[in-house]
Structures are given as structure tokens and as C-alpha cells.
Amino acid sequence: MNVGDRIKVQESVLVYHHPEHKKEAFDLKGMEGELIEIVTQWQGRPVSANFPYLVKFDKKFKAHFREDEILTIDNQ
């Protein structure tokens, strides 16, 4: 996976910070977005993030994922 790839959430992932579903469980399975960052550093120091893949779904919503939770999709 590379920054800029289109991705799809392939596993059931519940979040509580979706802007349209505040404080409610919201399942991201099946949603598509763009990989905008792979977190490997923080403030110039290397880190081993538990959820290193940052995906942007729309203007107001981003989420972090593990590699096994997302899948690269073809741009057709």
C-alpha cells in the first residue's frame, strides 16, 4: 500500500468519532477512502504505531487502521 491509494475497509471496525454519528458506534466496513499517511515517525522519532494507516473518507472524517483491516482497490 502506498500513500494516495484508494482503499476499502474489509473488516468490521467500530468507531465513535464519525461526524454524523457522534457518541454512537458506527461500523466502517465497506467504506472507501484514500490512504493519506503511513505513520512511521512522530516529532522526528521513529514509532511503531498500532494503527499506522491513516485513511481520509471525506473532509471531516479520517481514521487509523491496521494493515489487515483495509484493502487496496483498483482505480478504474
Quick: pLDDT tens for 23-63: 899 999 999 999 999 988 888 888 888 899 999 999 899 99
* Number of neighbours of residue 10 by Cβ within 10 angstroms: 14
**CATH domain 6-72 topology:** SH3 type barrels. (2.30.30)
- What CA–CA distance (Å, rounded) separates 73 from 76? 9
Would you kindly state where each structural domain of the chain is located, as residue ranges?
A: 6-72
Q: Please write the tens of the pLDDT for every residue from 13-25.
A: 999 999 898 889 9
Burial of 4 (0-12, 13-18, 19+ CB in 10 A): exposed
What backbone phi and psi angles, to 5 degrees, belong to 61?
A: -135, 120
Q: How many CB atoms lie within 10 A of CB 27?
A: 14
DSSP 68: G
pLDDT classification of 75: cutoffs 50, 70, 90 = low
pTM of the entire predicted model: 0.85
